Amino acid sequence: MVLVLAIGDLHIPHRAPDLPPKFKSMLVPGKIQHIICTGNLCIKTPLINFLLFSPQEVHDYLKSLCPSLHITRGEYDEDARYPETKTLTIGQFKLGLCHGHQVVPWGDLDSLAMLQRQLDVDILVSGHTHQFKAYKHEGGVVINPGSATGAYSSITYDVNPSFVLMDIDGLRVVVYVYELIDGEVKVDKIDFKKTATTATH
Amino acid sequence: MVKKSVPDWLNSSLWSTAPPPTPPNDDDDDGRRIGKSSSSDSTAAPSNSSSSKSANTTATVVPVRPEPPPAVEIRDPLSSSNNNVENGSGTVEIRDPTGDDVSVQAQLLQELSRKIVNIGELRKLASQGIPDGAGIRCTVWKLLLGYLPTDRGLWSSELIKKRSQYKHFKEELLMNPKDWKSKCFFARQSEITRRLDKSTCIEKDESLPETGVVLPRSEITHGEHPLSLGKSSVWNQFFQDTEIIEQIVRDVKRTHPGMHFFSGESQSATSNREALKNILIVFAKLNPGIRYVQGMNEILAPLFYVFRNDPIEENAACAEADTFFCFVELLSGFRDHFCQQLDNSVVGIRATITRLSRLLKEHDEELWRHLEVTTKVNPQFYAFRWITLLLTQEFNFADSLLIWDTLLSDLEGPQETLLRICCAMLILIRRRLLAGDFTSNLKLLQHYPSTNISHLLYVANKLRTQPAR
């Protein structure tokens, strides 16, 4: 029973000041085992006066929730240490992580599926579109956790803050989708069972 | 069984000056044991020996011994061949079997072998201190705490009932978190899950491998998601329980680190710790109002130690269940001390400490004035630990067992007795306290000097007879 938080596209402080308080109240340390972050967390700007956050603060905040933190680089992340893609294995699942701005057309399932095959993962988590999506594709799942702050994207202004929590348990993953709609947190869940035959991808 | 004219306890090697060196023989029926001085008294099986011979109502102590005692070395805290390292205080005294001791022992054995045990008589005898002879203390404590009924005939049925009840508790409450979660969680969610499974079947998990299908979302009822902060959420409860269990494990590891019974990596120590942990978890789950508070492990430890070292195999094996119920009983009088909300109430710890303070004032005004007024040693600084942990941390393990004998057996009840003993503790070192200032007094009281326990209990007893109560 491993809880994995998928979150990203925060754009703090440029497009949003902070995570919504209702999300923050739920994200407490000690419950989550891994955090995978699609990118666009925070920006280091040279103009210190305009900084609402010190450069590392969002990263540190996530790190305080869980020490196992994996981040990929979004196009606005100035921290060049983040990789473009990342893969990790949790339980029986292979997860792939990528910000998504590299995959063109943005948010297109077939292109993301190419990336999934390329990384050879069961679950691909990508972002950039700031829209929650969950597709099933070829025995694997493509998940977009959306933007946790509700920051506007290049595509749309109307963004509901959202993130995803995955409960990985053996061959089964339950995906909990947390969305902030009209000021209320709405939680949905999605069940996905990995069939054993797709183990050889 | 050989019928003897003289009771066997009279013939025991206790009376001999030198303890016989040979280890205990295999049991043969005549009950005359050659063994260590402190163990040779166990000519009578004091508790629920299945043998019908034990239902002897005559004064003759029945020399029945169903099986040889288990590993002798862990039994007796005061035995020098015991490899227990005493916590803190240096030498381990061996109780010389004085005449008084033996007679108390004999009387206790006699009392315990009656068909209907006279609790009043037992209390009187036990308050003089229960000898460490095997098997007496565990039975007496069980009787005093009301775990065993006074009618010996009911013992086996009671024990079976209680032990299976505990087993039941364990099965219900100590599930593996994954199983627990799946059990409760899916029990509640089963309908939704089933519906979902049905719908995903319709979505054809297997038959549409190529096209991307947007996965169906289903609603969550009752906020049953992992981050839920709701009180009724199964997930929230799971995380809270995990926290408590972690704390219990931490405290159990730290219980009596000097004693081989509890600490170390040996199999017995690990299983003992496991038992302590299980008892505390079951207690915490059954008592959501008070859950687990640090210190409960200290109160549990002597109980478990005594019951685990019961020479009767069957009892020792079921020590965990017995300890659980006795722990609940013992704690029932002191529960309010562990509840933080009750701290300032009439039943809370502060009120109890005030009672101690008043008791001291009654009996020794000079000392009271010096302590609280002149040197301003707030009794909370030392009495808190004395009272909540029932003096287990102030004396070495063997002495605390003796104190507990008195605590459990006194007619006034453990709360009153505890206060009298604390008061006696203060009075016994009055000279040093009167001569000291805040720092030295506090230091002295927080590291109470080792003292003659019988004398302490004697003084505590004397405090009872004083008027103005």
Average pLDDT over residues A162-191: 88
- The nearest CA of chain A is from the CA of B212 a distance in Å of 5
**Contact: A176, B216; criterion CB under 8 Å:** no
What is the pLDDT confidence band of residue B314, given thresholds at 50, 70 and 90?
confident
Please report, for residues B41, B352, B358, B390, the alpha-carbon distance to residue B344 in angstroms, rounded to integers and kept in the order given.
48, 10, 17, 20
Whether the CB of A134 is below 8 Å from some CB of chain B: the reply is: yes
What is the pLDDT confidence band of residue B136, given thresholds at 50, 70 and 90?
confident
- What pLDDT does A124 receive? 92
pLDDT greater than 60 at residue B40: no
- What pLDDT does B221 receive? 65
Average pLDDT over residues B353-370: 88
Class of domain A2-45+53-193: alpha beta
Q: Between B202 and B451, name the one with better pLDDT.
A: B451
SS3 track for chain B: CCCCCCCHHHHCHHHCCCCCCCCCCCCCCCCCCCCCCCCCCCCCCCCCCCCHHHHCCCCCCCCCCCCCCCCHHHCCCCCCCCCCCCCCCCCCCCCCCCHHHHHHHHHHHHHHCCCECCHHHHHHHHCCCCCCCCCHHHHHHHHHCCCCCCEHHHHHHHHHHHHHHHHHHHHHHCCCHHHHHHHHHHHHHHHHHHHHHHHHHHHCCCCCCCCCEECCCEECCCCCCCCCCCCCCHHHHHHHHHHHHHHHHHHHHCCCCCCCCCCCCCHHHHHHHHHHHHHHHHHHHHCCCCCCCCCHHHHHHHHHHHHHCCCCHHHHHCHHHHHHHHHHHHHHCCHHHHCHHHCCCCCCHHHHHHHHHHHHHHHCHHHHHHHHHHCCCCCHHHHHHHHHCCCCCCCCHHHHHHHHHHHHHCCCCHHHHHHHHHHHHHHHCHHHHHHCCHHHHHHHHHCCCCCCHHHHHHHHHHHHHCCCC
Average pLDDT over residues B9-20: 52
- Give the least confident one: B154-163, B174-183, B393-402: B174-183
In a domain, B335, yes or no: no
For chain A, give every domain's residue range: 2-45+53-193
Whether the CB of A110 is below 8 Å from some CB of chain B: the reply is: yes
Q: Long-range contacts of range B86-93, CB-CB < 8 Å, 24 or more positions apart?
A: B86/B258, B86/B259, B86/B396, B86/B397, B86/B398, B87/B256, B87/B257, B87/B258, B87/B259, B87/B396, B87/B397, B88/B258, B88/B396, B89/B395, B89/B396, B89/B450, B92/B398, B93/B398
- The nearest CA of chain B is from the CA of A136 a distance in Å of 5
Given phi > 0 = left and psi -120 to 50 = alpha, else beta, which region is B223? left
Q: Burial, A21: exposed, middle or buried (Cβ in 10 Å; 0-12, 13-18, 19+)?
A: exposed
- What pLDDT does B104 receive? 75
Among the partner-chain residues B196, B209, B217, the one whose CB lies closest to the CB of A139 is B209
- Give the least confident one: B4-13, B156-165, B323-332: B4-13
Tell me the chain B residues in contact with residue A137 when contact means C-beta distances shorter than 8 Å: 211-213
Contact, A146 vs A105, CB < 8 A? Answer: no
- What pLDDT does B414 receive? 84
- Give the least confident one: A2-11, B4-13, B117-126, B333-342: B4-13
Residues with Cβ within 8 Å of B443's Cβ and at least 6 positions away in sequence, in order, are none
Residues of B near A (Cβ–Cβ under 8 Å) read: 177-178, 181, 193, 196-197, 200, 205-206, 209-220, 223, 225-229, 239, 243
Boundary (domain end) residue, out of B109, B134, B154: B154
Tell me the chain A residues in contact with residue B229 when contact means C-beta distances shorter than 8 Å: 25-26
What is the C-alpha to C-alpha distance for residues B309 and B302, in angstroms, rounded to an integer? 11
Boundary (domain end) residue, out of B109, B125, B154: B154
Give me the helix-helix angle, B319-332 and B296-308, nearest 10°.
140
Among the partner-chain residues A3, A113, A191, the one whose CB lies closest to the CB of B226 is A3
**Contact: B229, A167; criterion CB under 8 Å:** no
In a domain, B31, yes or no: no
Whether the CB of A184 is below 8 Å from some CB of chain B: the reply is: no
pLDDT greater than 70 at residue B186: no
- Give the least confident one: A116-125, B34-43, B119-128, B370-379: B34-43
What is the pLDDT confidence band of residue B8, given thresholds at 50, 70 and 90?
low
- What pLDDT does B66 receive? 38
Single-letter amino acid, residue B312: I
* Tens-place pLDDT, residues B256-265: 888 888 888 8
What is the pLDDT confidence band of residue B195, given thresholds at 50, 70 and 90?
very low
Tell me the chain A residues in contact with residue B223 when contact means C-beta distances shorter than 8 Å: 187
- What pLDDT does B15 receive? 56
Tell me the chain B residues in contact with residue A177 when contact means C-beta distances shorter than 8 Å: 217
- Give the least confident one: A27-36, B5-14, B74-83, B456-465: B74-83
pLDDT greater than 50 at residue B220: yes
Tell me the chain B residues in contact with residue A25 when contact means C-beta distances shorter than 8 Å: 229
pLDDT greater than 70 at residue B180: no
Among the partner-chain residues A139, A165, A192, the one whose CB lies closest to the CB of B227 is A165
What is the pLDDT confidence band of residue A190, given thresholds at 50, 70 and 90?
confident
What is the pLDDT confidence band of residue A5, given thresholds at 50, 70 and 90?
very high
Whether the CB of A4 is below 8 Å from some CB of chain B: the reply is: no
- What pLDDT does A161 receive? 92
Q: Between B308 and B92, name the one with better pLDDT.
A: B308
Tell me the chain B residues in contact with residue A195 when contact means C-beta distances shorter than 8 Å: 205-206
pLDDT greater than 70 at residue B280: yes
**Contact: B225, A178; criterion CB under 8 Å:** yes
Q: Between B352 and B40, name the one with better pLDDT.
A: B352
Tell me the chain B residues in contact with residue A188 when contact means C-beta distances shorter than 8 Å: 217-220
- What pLDDT does A6 receive? 92
- What pLDDT does B199 receive? 45
In a domain, B206, yes or no: no
In a domain, B344, yes or no: yes
Considering only alpha carbons, which residue of chain B is nearest residue A111?
Answer: B212
- Kindly tell me the sign of the dihedral angle through the C-alpha atoms of B209, B210, B211, B213: positive
Considering only alpha carbons, which residue of chain B is nearest residue A113?
Answer: B212
Average pLDDT of every residue of chain B = 72
In a domain, B194, yes or no: no
* Tens-place pLDDT, residues B45-61: 333 333 333 333 333 33
Tell me the chain A residues in contact with residue B214 when contact means C-beta distances shorter than 8 Å: 133-136
Contact, B122 vs B111, CB < 8 A? Answer: yes
pTM: 0.65
Q: Between B223 and A135, name the one with better pLDDT.
A: A135
- What pLDDT does B53 receive? 38
**Contact: B212, A134; criterion CB under 8 Å:** no
- What pLDDT does B100 receive? 62
What is the pLDDT confidence band of residue A196, given thresholds at 50, 70 and 90?
low
pLDDT greater than 60 at residue B346: yes
- Give the least confident one: B11-20, B114-123, B231-240: B11-20
pLDDT greater than 70 at residue A188: yes
* Tens-place pLDDT, residues A78-111: 777 888 899 999 888 899 999 888 888 888 888 9
- What pLDDT does B76 receive? 42
What is the pLDDT confidence band of residue A44, given thresholds at 50, 70 and 90?
low
Q: The tokens of A9 are what?
A: 């596209």
CATH code, B362: 1.10.472.80
ipTM for this prediction: 0.70
Average pLDDT of every residue of chain A = 83
- What pLDDT does B45 receive? 37
Average pLDDT over residues B452-462: 86
Average pLDDT over residues B306-322: 86
Q: Between B24 and B230, name the one with better pLDDT.
A: B230
**Contact: B215, A25; criterion CB under 8 Å:** no
pLDDT greater than 70 at residue B166: yes
Tell me the chain B residues in contact with residue A176 when contact means C-beta distances shorter than 8 Å: 220, 225-227
What is the pLDDT confidence band of residue B376, given thresholds at 50, 70 and 90?
confident
In a domain, B454, yes or no: yes
pLDDT greater than 50 at residue B203: no
- Give the least confident one: B32-36, B326-330, B430-434: B32-36
**Contact: B243, A30; criterion CB under 8 Å:** yes
Candidates A22, A28, A136, partner chain B, best to mutate (most B CBs within 10 A): A136
**Contact: A188, B219; criterion CB under 8 Å:** yes
pLDDT greater than 60 at residue B95: no
pLDDT greater than 70 at residue B178: no
Q: Which domain holds residue B366?
A: 340-463
- What pLDDT does B96 receive? 47
Among the partner-chain residues A26, A135, A193, the one whose CB lies closest to the CB of B227 is A26
Average pLDDT over residues B150-166: 87
**Contact: A176, B225; criterion CB under 8 Å:** yes
**Contact: B193, A25; criterion CB under 8 Å:** no
pLDDT greater than 70 at residue B86: no
Candidates A190, A195, A198, partner chain B, best to mutate (most B CBs within 10 A): A190
Q: How many domains does chain B fold into?
A: 2
**Contact: A135, B214; criterion CB under 8 Å:** yes
